[in-house]
Amino acid sequence: MSERPTLLARLMKLLGFLVLATALLAMAFHAPDRPLESLLSRWAEAPSDFIELPMAGGQIQLVHLRDEGPRDDAAPIVLLHGTAASLHTWAGWVSELKTERRVITLDLPGFGLTGPSVVGDYSDEAYDRFLKAFLAHLKLQRVVLGGNSLGGGIAWGYAARHPEQVAALVLVDAGNLAVASASVPAGFRVPQSAVLRALARNFLPRPLVERSIKAVYGDPSKVSAALVDRYFELTLREGNREALAQRLAQRTPGRFADLLPRIQAPTLILWGGQDRLIPPEAGRIFQQQIPRSRLELFPSLGHVPQEEDPLSTVRPVQAFLHSL
């Protein structure tokens, strides 16, 4: 008879420990949305700017952008970031390119300081319409268009649909092909679970963000605390977590692959040899399908080579631009 109270006491102690541990984890990882204003001082330093972009139906999309370099450039460079990233991913490239060229970077709807889409649509067609409106608003008739991952998918789709506007195309580990991933960052899997998606509205473990970034770098040791801070804090921008879930749900890889042969612009394709999210096989498909294209691999780099090693990866871009 004496064993039952002892067993019950142990169970109650274990239950108490689990409740306490859950409470401590909840306190540690509680991360509510942050209003835009609270992020501006750190992530919208000069030359950041915001425009109010008219969209279909009369709605206005606030867009965070940076417009640098000489304004007399006949074909400015417009660079589009990837999923869960921001315009900051191009900072190393911009510092090198802006001495000779006008370079425009922006946060796409759903990400960075731009925040959620006002039309609530994150399909490929919606991003195409957004980019067309953005270029028209800035009165850019012809551009050099570049993009990484999601941004690369938007860029090549736009170049195929609007060839008169794209003077040249730069694809960096570009998305939107039906190519299987060797590895998917943990943070990308959260929106696929209804339970985790509900928890993610109020909780975001910083270690999860760090692990997700390291998963897309060829050399994880290059991932600094400051870099993790940027991804972590911009993910917390009000509405971005729900927007990410919607974007991932609306992806249709490979749907527009038949557009690739329509691309008329000279195309430079750059790829990280250690990219496990979109393996180099995709780069070779782009090279085969896009008529005037060439591929350059960086064996030691991962999915975001422009961020991991900006100096090495911008050199072929500069040579490509000079050859046009």
Give 197-250 pLDDT, tens digit per residue: 555 566 799 999 999 999 999 999 999 999 999 999 999 999 999 999 999 999
Bridge partner list, 62: 52
pLDDT above 70 covers a percentage of the chain that reads: 86
Band of residue 1 on the pLDDT scale cut at 50, 70, 90: very low
Residue 192 has pLDDT above 70, yes or no: no
Neighbours of 274 (CB within 10 A): 20
Mean pLDDT of 170-176: 98
* Nearest CA-CA partner of 89 in 154, 169, 157, 172: 172
Residue 196 has pLDDT above 90, yes or no: no
Average pLDDT over the chain, rounded to an integer: 91
- Contact between 151 and 104 (Cβ < 8 Å): no
Give the pLDDT confidence score for residue 46 in this predicted structure: 96
Q: How far apart are CA 106 and CA 89, in angstroms?
A: 10
Residue 276 has pLDDT above 50, yes or no: yes
Mean pLDDT of 160-182: 96
Residue 195 has pLDDT above 60, yes or no: no
pLDDT above 90 covers a percentage of the chain that reads: 82
Give the pLDDT confidence score for residue 20 in this predicted structure: 44
Residue 25 has pLDDT above 90, yes or no: no
Band of residue 182 on the pLDDT scale cut at 50, 70, 90: confident
DSSP-assigned letters across all residues of 55-120: -GGG-EEEEEEEEES-TT-SS-EEEE--TT--GGGGHHHHHHHTTTS-EEEEPPTTBTTTBS-TT-
Mean pLDDT of 260-267: 98
Give the pLDDT confidence score for residue 26 in this predicted structure: 46
Give 240-251 pLDDT, tens digit per residue: 999 999 999 999
Q: How far apart are CA 134 and CA 129, in angstroms?
A: 9
Residue 24 has pLDDT above 50, yes or no: no
Mean pLDDT of 116-132: 97
Give the pLDDT confidence score for residue 22 in this predicted structure: 41
Mean pLDDT of 96-123: 98
Give the pLDDT confidence score for residue 229 in this predicted structure: 97
Mean pLDDT of 303-318: 98
Residue 311 has pLDDT above 90, yes or no: yes
Mean pLDDT of 307-323: 98
Amino acid at 127: Y
Give the pLDDT confidence score for residue 19 in this predicted structure: 45
Residue 90 has pLDDT above 80, yes or no: yes
Q: DSSP 3-state assignment of 2?
A: coil
Residue 12 has pLDDT above 80, yes or no: no
Mean pLDDT of 70-89: 98
Amino acid at 286: F
The secondary element (H helix, E strand) that includes residue 49 is strand 48-54
Please state which of the ranges 13-27, 73-87, 145-159 shows the lowest mean pLDDT. Answer: 13-27
